[in-house]
């Protein structure tokens, strides 16, 4: 079965604290994974993709095939990071996305 699980609906952290948003996937093929962010009812914006192994806005994510995870991390959260974060699995063939349920990150002052 193809599935993406984001176990936390809401994650609240204080400014300057580390943050980790969890994402686990189930997929029989070779996974292509992405993180998208949605600020306050705006469009889904690409944050990270596993293939690029880059850091955007201080966020990183590592694909762990053994644990079937693609957790999003940032060492020091900022208030402007408050948003909805979605993990997405791209399937082969039509490249459609399967999304997780999303995690709302609230960074408290």
Partner 1 sequence: EPEVTQTPSHQVTQMGQEVILRCVPISNHLYFYWYRQILGQKVEFLVSFYNNEISEKSEIFDDQFSVERPDGSNFTLKIRSTKLEDSAMYFCASRLRRDNQPQHFGDGTRLSIL
User: Could you say whether residue 8 binds partner 1 (CB under 8 A)?
Assistant: no
Site stretch for partner 1 (CB under 8 A), options 12-20, 30-38, 65-73, 74-82: 30-38
Closest CA to 6 of 93, 91, 69, 73: 69
Q: By CB under 8 A, which span of 15-23, 37-45, 53-61, 65-73 interacts with partner 1?
A: 37-45
Q: Is 93 in the site for partner 1 (CB under 8 A)?
A: yes
Of the candidate residues 36, 59, 70, 85, the single one contacting partner 1 (CB under 8 A): 36
CA distances from 95 to 22, 31, 35, 63, 98 (A): 23, 11, 15, 18, 10
Backbone angles phi, psi at 18, to 5 degrees: -75, 150
């Amino acid at each position: 079965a193809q599935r993406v699980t984001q176990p936390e609906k809401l994650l609240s952290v204080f400014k300057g604290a580390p943050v980790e948003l969890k994402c686990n996937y189930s997929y029989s093929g070779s996974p292509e994974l992405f993180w998208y962010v949605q600020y306050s009812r705006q469009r889904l914006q690409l944050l990270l993709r596993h293939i690029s192994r880059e850091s955007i806005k201080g966020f990183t994510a590592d694909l762990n095939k053994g644990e079937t995870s693609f957790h999003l991390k940032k060492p020091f959260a900022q208030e402007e990071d408050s948003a909805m974060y979605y993990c997405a699995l791209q399937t082969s063939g039509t490249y459609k996305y399967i999304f997780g349920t999303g995690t709302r990150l609230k960074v408290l002052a």
